[in-house]
Amino acid sequence: MNREKLIEKTFFLIACSALFLLALITVFIFKEGIGIFLKIGFAKFIFSPDWAPSQKQFGLFSMIMGSVWITIGALIIGVPLSLSVSIFLAEFCPKKIARILKPAIELLAGIPSVVYGFIGVVILAPLIREYLGGPGLSVLAGSMVLAIMILPTVISISLDALHAVPKSYLEGSLALGATRWQSVYMVIIPAARSGIIASVILGMGRAVGETMAVIMVSGNAVRIPHSILEPVRTLTSNIALELGYATGMHREALFGTGMVLFVIIMILNTAAYVFTKRKVRK
């Protein structure tokens, strides 16, 4: 066997090992969590708002709604900002400045989530409490912190999608008399739509799966929020806060929560993959 074949088979085995580990994790989570669905039923576990493990009440609905509220808030705040930055970097920013700004933005992804949470607790929550009311640790605080955390993901992928649009699109639009902004808004952005949507979906998956920062700034109250100023608990926070001392059905319920999260993330990643492939086909 020559050296090229050996290297090829080595990398193939490494790729297979990654898939094998993913399969093991999947089997372990579902094996540990399926019991709660069999004991109390799917509908009661998902749609009941009552979570009181000491009283054998295991309902995820309040935490599902907490995750939904915080994720939607992060998208409302973060997506327009991310797209504005990516459009500026792709079409309007001088190249010398873009070469500095793009790596600086990507460095945000390397900051530990606990640092974002600490900033949210020390700076953001007191400002919300003083000027808007409520306890400060709330849906709004969690959404704002997550909005900052998803910026690198959405900006990087959107920027790649905008750069992938052929220059002839812009040149043709300008030749027909459109302004540069009209060309970007009516030609470039629609052409990059699939990649931009994929970036938003992946950013949503990042927001749904975040744990530490959300624990620190969301308040962790197990209830359905009726205002962005109310505290909530997300699915990820619930697992992190209670798994250390959970036993029996309580432990099964937390693994069941992990199953729900696993399915949500897989759906989001699959949707992003579909949109990305659609862009490639075009």
Q: Among 88, 94, 74, 265, which Cα is nearest to 151's? A: 74
- Does the structure show a pLDDT above 90 at 149? yes
Among residues of the chain, what percentage have pLDDT more than 70?
A: 97
Residue 18 lies in a domain: no
- Residue range of the domain that includes 175: 45-281
- Does the structure show a pLDDT above 50 at 280? no
Q: What is the pLDDT of residue 239?
A: 93
Lowest mean pLDDT among 118-122, 207-211, 231-235: 207-211
CB-facing half-sphere around the CA of 12: CA atoms within 13 A? 6
Do 156 and 202 form a contact (C-beta atoms < 8 A)? Answer: no
pTM of the model: 0.87
Number of domains in the chain: 1
Amino acid identity of residue 263, one-letter, is V
Residue 32 lies in a domain: no
Integer Rg of the chain from CA: 22
Q: How many residues does the chain have?
A: 282
Residue 24 lies in a domain: no
Residue 31 lies in a domain: no
Rounded average pLDDT over 120-137: 93
- Does the structure show a pLDDT above 60 at 180? yes
Label each residue of the chain as H, E or C: CCHHHHHHHHHHHHHHHHHHHHHHHHHHHHHHHHHHHHHHCHHHHHHCCCEEHHHCEECCHHHHHHHHHHHHHHHHHHHHHHHHHHHHHHHHCCHHHHHHHHHHHHHHHHCCHHHHHHHHHHHHHHHHHHHCCCCCCCHHHHHHHHHHHHHHHHHHHHHHHHHHCCHHHHHHHHHCCCCHHHHHHHHHHHHCHHHHHHHHHHHHHHHHHCCHHHHHHCECCCCCCCCCCCCECCHHHHHHHHCCCCCHHHHHHHHHHHHHHHHHHHHHHHHHHHHHHHHHHC
CATH of the domain at 72: 1.10.3720.10
Reported as a single tens digit per residue, the pLDDT across 15-71 is 888 889 888 988 998 999 999 998 888 899 999 999 999 888 999 999 999 999 999
Residue 2 lies in a domain: no
**CB proximity list for 89: less than 8 A, separation 6 or greater:** 98, 101, 102, 155, 159
| Confidence at 250, pLDDT banded by 50, 70, 90 | very high
Q: What is the pLDDT of residue 1?
A: 58
Residue 33 lies in a domain: no
| Confidence at 122, pLDDT banded by 50, 70, 90 | very high
- Does the structure show a pLDDT above 70 at 282? no
Which two structure tokens, joined as six digits, stand for 244?
A: 């250390």
Residue 13 lies in a domain: no
